[in-house]
Amino acid sequence: MNLSRKTALLTGATGGIGNAIAKALADEGVSLILTARNGDKLTALESQLDGTGHLIHSCDLTKAEDRKVLQRVCAERGIDLLINNAGINHLALLEKMSDSELAVMIETNLTVPMLLCRDFLPLLVDRPESAIVNIGSILGSIGYAGSVTYCATKFGLRGFSEALRRELADRSVQVVYFSPRATATSFNSSKMVAMNEALGTAVDSAEWVAEEFINTLKQKNPHNRYLGWPEKFFVRLNGLLPKLVDKALFKQLPIIRRFAE
Ligand SMILES: NC(=O)c1ccc[n+]([C@@H]2O[C@H](COP(=O)([O-])OP(=O)(O)OC[C@H]3O[C@@H](n4cnc5c(N)ncnc54)[C@H](OP(=O)(O)O)[C@@H]3O)[C@@H](O)[C@H]2O)c1
């Protein structure tokens, strides 16, 4: 798609990946509506962006009232892109997760993007060329110990994106599921960083992820995108021969347990 002079709503704009995506989109001439809960961080981000006409809007996306106000703001401006990027994770074994930790993760990572897609769709279908981009994860295709609930939310988001793409196949709205692998942001707690080091997990920079994000959006018919080698190979292998992947990941389990417990 042609990004120039488009308007995008970006959630989770102040996070590591959101920040890099915001800067990369602004460089492409996209006007941004940036959201997160922390207003000071939004102000700081806005001051670093190229271009004019950006808008910051602080809100908690898990609150229905906040989403309604955001919808009004976006309706006034009009949007061509909805980028569902806000997300949370928490390295822990399932048995150690409280009811509220489970519920908040499902709400933030899955329910909120679904609600935003539903509520903002009327704004997007009016535009000649528009897209929904749901930021998933490689862990939305490969179940991983220590991130069981997170995996469930991202598997859900991937399935939702696929179904919605097919439901909107006769409209002008593209639906893209974009999935990074581990990325160096504060999303990953110190425990997660130490675990990734112990496992030898490759970690990308947020700037590289943002570059690939832009490359994906610029394609004529952007589709699902999985970042990183060998992760994208494992995504396919897991679909075809999950027992092989069970075996490979079993070797990592003692290390994962050490950090997750
Ligand atoms: N980093 C990785 O290793 C990695 C790997 C694969 C996929 N991803 C995915 O990439 C996306 C961005 O990750 P990141 O690394 O940039 O995370 P991050 O640095 O932790 O940023 C998360 C963003 O979401 C916002 N947010 C969280 N809860 C919110 C809520 N209830 N309402 C509104 N905003 C909320 C945060 O801002 P406030 O706290 O101010 O609200 C922040 O802007 C996520 O969907 C994540 O699952 C990340």
> CA torsion 184→185→190→192, rounded to 10°?
-60
Residues serving a catalytic function are 150
Distance in angstroms (rounded) separating the CA atoms of residues 127 and 130: 6
* Of 177, 75, 171, 87, nearest in space to 132 by CA: 177
Judge whether residue 243 has pLDDT over 90: yes
Q: Domain total for the chain? A: 1
Give the residue numbers spanning the domain of 201: 7-260
Helix (H, G, I), strand (E, B) or coil at 33: strand
Cα of 21 vs centre of ligand 1, distance in Å, is 12
Asked, for residue 37, whether it belongs to a domain, the answer is yes
Query: Considering the chain, what percentage of its residues have pLDDT values greater than 90?
Result: 98
pTM: 0.98
At 51, the pLDDT band (50, 70, 90 cuts) reads confident
**CB-based contacts of 21, cutoff 8 Å, min separation 6:** 10, 13, 83, 85, 209, 210, 213
Asked, for residue 241, whether it belongs to a domain, the answer is yes
Asked, for residue 1, whether it belongs to a domain, the answer is no
Cα of 134 vs centre of ligand 1, distance in Å, is 12
Task: Residue 253: give its domain's CATH number.
Answer: 3.40.50.720
Other CB atoms within 10 Å distance of the CB of residue 241: 11
Would you say the CB of residue 195 lies under 6 angstroms from ligand 1? no
Asked, for residue 210, whether it belongs to a domain, the answer is yes
- For the four alpha carbons of 45, 51, 54 and 60, in that order, the dihedral sign comes to negative
Residue 219 structure tokens: 């394609």
Average pLDDT over residues 18-38: 98
Asked, for residue 2, whether it belongs to a domain, the answer is no
In the chain, the N- to C-terminal Cα span, in Å, equals 45
Cα of 58 vs centre of ligand 1, distance in Å, is 14
Asked, for residue 226, whether it belongs to a domain, the answer is yes
Asked, for residue 40, whether it belongs to a domain, the answer is yes
Judge whether residue 119 has pLDDT over 90: yes
Residue nearest to atom 2 of ligand 1 (CA): 183
- Asked if 254 and 93 count as a contact pair (C-beta separation under 8 A), the reply is no
Strands (E), 90-200: 130-135, 173-179
Per-residue pLDDT reduced to its tens digit, 67-103: 999 999 999 999 999 999 999 999 999 999 999 999 9
Would you say the CB of residue 201 lies under 6 angstroms from ligand 1? no
What's the mean pLDDT when you consider all of the chain? Answer: 97
Asked, for residue 248, whether it belongs to a domain, the answer is yes
Per-residue pLDDT reduced to its tens digit, 188-218: 999 999 999 999 999 999 999 999 999 999 9
